[in-house]
A and B are shown apart, each in its own frame.
Chain A
Amino acid sequence: QSVLTQPPSASGTPGQRVTISCSGSSSNIGSNTVNWYQQLPGTAPKLLIYSNNQRPSGVPDRFSGSKSGTSASLAISGLQSEDEADYYCAAWDDSLNGHVVFGGGTKLTVL
């Protein structure tokens, strides 16, 4: 059972816009920033969004993040086949002396 809750799956057709939600609590998303990671099959995760809505250099602006209260969202516009991957949200949690918590991951399928 992950501390952050994500839908296990999402899907869309090429060109569509899809969103992935991430729900937490006051001790994590409610008081800290959210990061998003993309994990392509058989590879290490890659930082996609940091500090709720910032993109690292090289990440296309098709990817965007937002946060409101104890929830966050990742949006992917102009969906492409290469976006098919697992997506994880993460945040610092202030409980238990502080630790990083991840969502359970969302498998995105491009139909």
Chain B
Amino acid sequence: QVQLVQSGAEVKKPGASVKVSCKASGYTFTSYDINWVRQATGQGLEWMGWMNPNSGNTGYAQKFQGRVTMTRNTSISTAYMELSSLRSEDTAVYYCARAEDGDDAFDIWGQGTMVTVSS
């Protein structure tokens, strides 16, 4: 079945970086964009950016420009989101989500990865 499986929970210190993976299966990885959305505990959804796995093209929310990098390894159908200079406010569940090329409807979501930033 079509699914996105994310890497496990992470605990990081302020100032560090975190890299979350998102492995796709059940469909052609390069045919759909991968978006990243985060959600702090008890809060709403916040879009971080998108990546086209075929071209590698990316688009980031202005809030995360300079701190986020989205990449992929097409040989293993896996997308990555790396966030640097972590601060406590980055503590959240991070989701990857699939969308058709150029579309903004996220039809398949990963299970989420909890990232905790604490000294």
Q: Report which A residues bind B (CB closer than 8 A).
A: 2, 32-33, 35, 37, 44-47, 50-51, 56, 88, 90-92, 96-105
Also in contact, A44 and B44, with CB within 8 A (given A90-B104, A99-B61): no
The CA-CA distance from A35 to B87 in the complex, in Å, is 31
Known: A56-B107, A90-B47. 10 other contacts (CB 8 A): A37-B45, A45-B97, A88-B44, A96-B62, A99-B47, A100-B35, A101-B47, A102-B45, A103-B44, A105-B45
CB distance from A88 to the nearest CB of B (A): 6
Pick the residue among B35, B44, B105, B111 that contacts A104 (CB under 8 A).
B44
Give A97 to B50 CA distance when docked, in angstroms. 13
Contacting B95 at CB < 8 Å: which of A35, A45, A96, A101?
A45
| Cross-chain contact B112 with A44 (CB below 8 angstroms) | yes
Q: List 15 A-B contacts (CB under 8 A).
A: A35-B104, A37-B45, A44-B110, A45-B97, A45-B106, A46-B109, A47-B105, A96-B61, A97-B62, A99-B47, A99-B59, A101-B47, A102-B46, A102-B47, A104-B44
Q: Check A100 against B47 for contact (C-beta < 8 Å).
A: yes
Which range holds the interface residue count of chain B? Answer: 10 to 19
Q: Is the CB of B104 within 8 A of A100?
A: yes
- Bound CA span A33–B59, Å: 19
Q: Would A44 and B109 count as touching, CB distance under 8 A?
A: yes
Are A102's CB and B59's CB within 8 A? no
On whether the beta carbons of A44 and B107 are closer than 8 Å, the reply is: no
Task: State A97–B59 Cα separation when bound (angstroms).
Answer: 9
Closest 9 A/B residue pairs (Cβ): A50-B105, A100-B47, A44-B109, A102-B45, A105-B44, A92-B104, A35-B105, A104-B44, A96-B62
- Alpha-carbon distance between A73 and B23 when the two chains are bound, in angstroms: 34
Q: Could you say which residues of chain B place their CB within 8 Å of the CB of A90? A: 45, 47, 104
**B contact residues around A2 at 8 Å (CB):** 44
Q: How far is the CA of A98 from the CA of B31 in the complex (A)?
A: 21
* A2 to B104 Cα, complex, angstroms: 18
Most chain-A Cβ atoms within 10 A of its Cβ — which of B44, B62, B109, B112?
B44
